[in-house]
Amino acid sequence: NAGVMQNPRHLVRRRGQEARLRCSPMKGHSHVYWYRQLPEEGLKFMVYLQKENIIDESGMPKERFSAEFPKEGPSILRIQQVVRGDSAAYFCASSPTGGTAYEQYFGPGTRLTVT
Amino acid sequence: SQQGEEDPQALSIQEGENATMNCSYKTSINNLQWYRQNSGRGLVHLILIRSNEREKHSGRLRVTLDTSKKSSSLLITASRAADTASYFCAPQGANNLFFGTGTRLTVIP
């Protein structure tokens, strides 16, 4: 059973470009969470999605950031018009169901560098 | 804030010694999870302890939870060099996890 897959592992973008980060959850998992980790800091929650639904986006910046989890295919975190402050590691996690009963399994992360 | 706060921020011990890391949080939780992160890598889930549990074991790991004090501890016994990593506690609210800045553990061979 493959774990959570994220790609790309490293992404370099110039200021103003768009960044697209992909996350494929573990097989059988229908809940996806995105977190951001700045250097020397812990992970900060961004958004929680189920298939075709955003459940909780309380951690998402109001502008330039969006996320989706379509019926088919991976979850996508999209950052438009990137700025240097967006440079961070972005992790997604998945669980078989939501709520508090299950562990969240993390992917290896995508390290975004904005130049 | 529901964010976990780990203490100490950094810990350096000799191989074979025990390592204890503490976590405090401020609000009510449903459960609390501990994760490990090796430098530059993703997080590895260690243990989930539910709010109605007081102690849980997994191999060389022992986790305690005191909801009256809003605190948890992670004990690693007989540490190994391979245990060198950052350890995060993550209190869990309704959906997401609230990570602190972690404890950096260094185990010296």
Tell me the average pLDDT across B59-64. 97
CB neighbours (10 Å) of residue A42?
Answer: 23
What are the tokens at A49? Answer: 């999605």
Residue of A nearest to B86 (CA): A42
Q: Do A43 and B99 touch (CB under 8 A)?
A: yes
**With an 8 Å Cβ cutoff, is B77 touching chain A?**
no
Residue-by-residue pLDDT tens, chain A, 115 positions? 579 999 999 999 999 999 999 999 999 888 999 999 988 788 899 999 998 899 999 999 999 999 999 989 999 999 999 999 999 999 999 988 766 567 888 999 999 999 9
Nearest by CB to residue A42, choosing from B33, B92, B101, is B101
Cα separation, A19 vs A66, in Å, equals: 11
**What does DSSP say about strands B10-14 and B103-108: parallel, antiparallel, or unpaired?**
parallel
> What percent of chain B is predicted at pLDDT more than 90?
72
Model confidence pLDDT, tens digit, residues B19-42: 999 999 988 888 899 999 988 778
Q: Identify the pLDDT of residue A115.
A: 96
Write down how long chain A is: 115
pLDDT of residue B1 exceeding 60: no
Q: Identify the pLDDT of residue A101.
A: 62
The answer to whether residues A90 and A110 touch, using CB atoms and an 8 Å cutoff, is yes
Q: Do A107 and B31 touch (CB under 8 A)?
A: no
Model confidence pLDDT, tens digit, residues B69-83: 999 999 999 999 999
Q: Identify the pLDDT of residue B97.
A: 84
Q: Which SS3 state, helix, strand or coil, does residue A77 take?
A: strand
Chain B positions touching A43 (Cβ under 8 A) are: 43, 88, 90, 97, 99
Residue of B nearest to A92 (CA): B42
Q: Identify the pLDDT of residue A63.
A: 94
Cα separation, B68 vs B41, in Å, equals: 34
The answer to whether residues B103 and B87 touch, using CB atoms and an 8 Å cutoff, is yes
Q: Identify the pLDDT of residue B11.
A: 95
